[in-house]
């Protein structure tokens, strides 16, 4: 089942890359310069890093039947906190630590609304999605705060052979994979996502688990926010991380994790995030007119989602009929 779920996002990614290759034969070319790797593929990785990181946090939230709409706002707050602090003191390390601390608090707030007060996740996180940019605005006093700090610049724009941003995101991905699959956390998260009541009666600390995933999602958003603002050396409360929650949710869904919670796939999320970023890049490479960019993106997303639809996928792969499986599960 997992294999067929991963098949389509993988194929979509390959197809997009091939399309790029046809239009722009130098697309796969990589250059080594000053010990840094350059090229379109590297750009995709670097620009996709924030989305991947946020999608990673989102995957776990979605696995518990939740959703986090506030990730973009949290990213903006992280950038705002960091840049205003650097602007006044020049201390980048403290600034970033402070920003991530704030993100943990924001995650605790989301988790409190969902796990303790039992508010529907989409509503609970909508609060911070709306209020968050206001907070960021307050911090930057409505200005775009620019900073010039070499250390901070490394986070989003630095290279360690590969872009540092993608190294951070991949490290986070590997860490999450290890923590959730080598311990029982993954199984418990899925269990809470599939059947919260049964999990509670089995003694699972559902509340703690749900709370944790929201904090983790906020932390991921925070780091992504650092990357975004570091990349431009500025905090823009209005547009940093704007609509990134949609890209992240899309990445998770394209990766085959169901919004209804339960089984999740981190590999799927990785493929999903890369697909989305490649799509964005493709729009520029093949010269889609700016006014139809969104339509083009929408078209590709619709195709990928259709290919994964329970009624379409089996016809294409001749896998066991999902209808049967569903019915059997309903028994």
Partner 1 sequence: MTESPPLVDMRGIHVEFPGVKALEDVDFRLFPGEVHALMGENGAGKSTLIKALTGVHPLEAGEIHLDGAPVSFPGPAQAQAAGISTVYQEVNLCTNLSVAENILLGREPRRFGVIDGRTMRARAATLLARMGLTIDPGSALGSHPIAVQQLVAIARAVAVDARVLILDEPTSSLDTDEVAELFRIIRVLRAEGVAVLFVTHFIEQVYEISDRVTVLRNGKLVGEYATSALSRIDLVSAMIGRELGVLEEVERRSERRSADPAPLLRAEGLGRAGAIAPFDLEIHAGEVVGLAGLLGSGRTELARLLFGADRADTGRVLMDGEPLRQRGGPRAALAKGIAFSSEDRKADGLVADLTVRDNMILAMQAARGWARQVPRRTADELVEKYLTELDIRPANPDAVVGTLSGGNQQKVLLARWLITRPRLLILDEPTRGIDVGAKAHIQKVVADLAADGMAVLFISAELEEVVRISDRIVVLRDRHKIAELSGSAAGVDEVMELIASGSTKVEALS
> Which residues contact partner 1 (rule: CB under 8 A)?
182-185, 187-188, 190-191, 194-195, 197-205, 209, 262-263, 320-321, 324-325, 327-331
- Cβ of residue 184: shortest distance to partner 1, in angstroms? 4
- Which class for 293: exposed (0-12), middle (13-18), buried (19 or more C-beta within 10 A)? middle
In terms of CB distance, is 39 or 314 closer to partner 1? 314
- Alpha-carbon distance of 210 to 121, in angstroms, equals 11
Q: How, if at all, do strands 159-160 and 234-235 pair?
A: unpaired
- Greatest alpha-carbon pair distance for the chain in Å reads 63
* Whether the Cβ atoms of residue 133 and residue 237 lie closer than 8 Å to each other: yes
- Cβ of residue 196: shortest distance to partner 1, in angstroms? 9
Pick from 97, 96, 55, 46: which is nearest to 217 by CA?
A: 55
In terms of CB distance, is 311 or 316 closer to partner 1? 311
In terms of CB distance, is 29 or 327 closer to partner 1? 327
- Alpha-carbon distance of 276 to 48, in angstroms, equals 8
Angle at CA 326, nearest 5°, toward 320 and 330?
145
* Whether the Cβ atoms of residue 176 and residue 266 lie closer than 8 Å to each other: yes
* Whether the Cβ atoms of residue 222 and residue 78 lie closer than 8 Å to each other: yes
- Alpha-carbon distance of 187 to 189, in angstroms, equals 5
- Cβ of residue 262: shortest distance to partner 1, in angstroms? 5
- Alpha-carbon distance of 103 to 10, in angstroms, equals 32
In terms of CB distance, is 56 or 276 closer to partner 1? 56
In terms of CB distance, is 232 or 325 closer to partner 1? 325
- Cβ of residue 187: shortest distance to partner 1, in angstroms? 5
- Cβ of residue 222: shortest distance to partner 1, in angstroms? 23
Angle subtended by helix axes 266-285 and 244-254, to nearest 10: 120
Take residue 329 and report the two structure tokens written for it: 């599960």
Beta strands in the chain, from DSSP E residues, in sequence order: 31-33, 36-38, 145-146, 159-160, 162-163, 234-235
In terms of CB distance, is 197 or 291 closer to partner 1? 197
- Cβ of residue 327: shortest distance to partner 1, in angstroms? 5
Pick from 174, 177, 172: which is nearest to 189 by CA?
A: 177
- Cβ of residue 306: shortest distance to partner 1, in angstroms? 21
In terms of CB distance, is 94 or 183 closer to partner 1? 183
- Cβ of residue 263: shortest distance to partner 1, in angstroms? 6
In terms of CB distance, is 101 or 311 closer to partner 1? 311
- Alpha-carbon distance of 276 to 63, in angstroms, equals 20
């Amino acid at each position: 089942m997992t294999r067929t779920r991963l098949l389509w996002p993988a194929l979509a990614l390959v197809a997009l890359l091939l399309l790029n290759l046809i239009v722009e034969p130098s697309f796969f070319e990589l250059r080594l310069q000053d010990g840094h790797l350059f090229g379109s593929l590297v750009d995709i990785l670097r620009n996709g890093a924030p989305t991947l990181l946020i999608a990673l946090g989102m995957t776990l939230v979605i696995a518990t039947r939740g959703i986090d709409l506030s990730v973009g706002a949290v990213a903006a707050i992280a950038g705002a906190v960091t840049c205003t602090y650097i602007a006044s003191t020049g201390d980048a390390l403290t600034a970033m630590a402070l920003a991530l601390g704030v993100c943990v608090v924001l995650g605790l707030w989301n988790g409190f609304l969902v796990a303790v007060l039992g508010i529907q996740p989409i509503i609970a996180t909508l609060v911070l999605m709306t209020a968050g940019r206001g907070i960021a605005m307050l911090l930057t006093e409505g200005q775009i705060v620019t900073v010039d700090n070499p250390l901070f610049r490394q986070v989003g724009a630095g290279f360690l052979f590969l872009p540092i941003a993608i190294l951070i995101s991949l490290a986070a991905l590997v860490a999450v994979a290890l923590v959730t699959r080598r311990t029982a956390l993954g199984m418990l998260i899925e269990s809470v996502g599939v059947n919260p009541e049964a999990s509670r009666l089995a003694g699972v600390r559902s509340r703690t688990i749900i709370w944790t995933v929201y904090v983790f999602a906020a932390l991921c958003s925070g780091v992504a926010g650092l990357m975004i603002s570091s990349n431009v050396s500025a905090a823009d409360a209005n547009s940093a991380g704007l609509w990134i929650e949609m890209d992240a949710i899309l990445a998770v869904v394209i990766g085959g994790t169901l919004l209804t919670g339960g089984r999740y796939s981190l590999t799927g999320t990785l493929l999903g995030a890369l697909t989305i970023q490649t799509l964005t890049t493709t729009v520029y490479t093949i010269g889609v007119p700016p006014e139809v960019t969104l339509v083009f993106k929408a078209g590709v997303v619709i195709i990928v989602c259709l290919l994964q639809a329970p009624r379409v996928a089996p016809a294409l792969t001749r896998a066991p009929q999902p209808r049967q499986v569903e019915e059997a599960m309903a028994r």
